[in-house]
Structure 1
Amino acid sequence: MYNEKKRTITTERLLIRPFELSDAQRVSELCNNYNVYKSTLTLPYPYPIESARIWIQTHEENFNNNRYYEFAITDKHTHELYGAIGLSNHPIHRNGEFGYWIGEEYWGRGYATEATKALISFAFSEKHYHKVYARFFASNPASGRVMQKVGMVEEGRLVHHVYKENKYEDLIHYGILNTGV
């Protein structure tokens, strides 16, 4: 459920909320992980705290200007930070791309799936998107399983689309339509 005033989304286990500068240290700790880096498109490695601060400082303006909605994925009760999820906004096309990362110590617990489901609901019910889409590296099938679990369908493969770690990576494209519009 989205709280417009607080800009938070609440799920069964999660509080998905705006990042705060005080999160920078934990973001740096979670992102300064080779296994997280290798499964993301734009995350730098190593990931110093200053990168986290600079990144967090862009969120408010992006949100206010409806360019990008970036959220911290946290435990609903303890407020422990698990990762991040964000959604771009392309108003002309009424769609957006989402991306996420979860700290490795929290992998396999369903947090990405729960946050993704909530973000898609936010996109459709609050932002009135027609479509939400995402891409993942073929070498990271766990992200594909997250997308399948939330009802997204594979739309195609971009062959050798990204050069990372001295090799070319395929990107697999998934999407979901807002059938309630």
Structure 2
Amino acid sequence: MYNQAQRTLTTGRLILRPFKESDAQRVSELCNNYNIYKSTLTLPYPYSVDCALSWIQTQEVNFNNNKSYEFAITDKNTYELYGAIGLSNNQTHKNGELGYWIGEEYWGKGYATEATKAILEFAFTEKHYHKVYARFFASNPGSGRVMQKSGMVKEGVLLQHVYKENKFVDLIHYGIINT
């Protein structure tokens, strides 16, 4: 459920909320992890507090300008930060790309799937998207399972689409259309 005044999405276990500058230290701790870096398209490594602050400081303007929507994935009861989920906004085509990361200590608990379902509802109900898509490295099948569990379907493979760690890697493309 979306609360427009607070810019929050609430699920059974989670609150997705805007990031605050006070989150920068925890974001840095979670993201300064090689296993997260190797599974993401744009996350730098190492990941400093300054990287986190810089990223957080762009989010409100992007949200207000309907360029993108970034949310901290937090526990509904303890407010502990688990990760992030974001959605770009291509207004011309009424679509956007979904991206997320979860701190490694929280993997396998269903948080990414729960957050993804909430973001898809936000995209279709609040922002009136026609389509949401996402991509993941073939080496990260867990991300593909998140997309499948969220109702997304495989649309194809972008062969050797990204150069990462001195090699070309495939991206698997998933999408979902608002019906």
Counterpart for residue 5 of structure 2: 5
Deviation at 1:166, TM superposition (A): 1.3
Q: How many residues align?
A: 179
Runs of 4+ off more than 4 Å: none
Partner of 2:40: 40
* Separation in structure 1 between the aligned mates of residue 48 and residue 67 of structure 2, nearest angstrom: 25
Matches within 5 A, 1:43-122: 43-122=43-122
Alignment partner of 1:160 is 2:163 = no
Q: Tell me which residue corresponds to 1:24.
A: 24
Give structure 2 stretches of 5+ with no counterpart.
none
1:76 to partner: Cα distance = 0.4
Identity %: 77
Unaligned segments of structure 1, at least 5 residues: none
TM-score by structure 2 length?
A: 0.99
**Whole-angstrom distance in 2 between the partners of 1:94 and 1:71:** 20
Q: What is the distance in 1 between the residues matched to 2:34 and 2:42? A: 13
Deviation, 1:35, is 0.2
Tell me the distance in 2 between the aligned counterparts of 1:22 and 1:137.
Answer: 31
Question: In the aligned structure 2, how far is the partner of 1:99 from the partner of 1:119?
Answer: 10
Q: Could you say what secondary structure the match of 1:139 adopts? A: coil
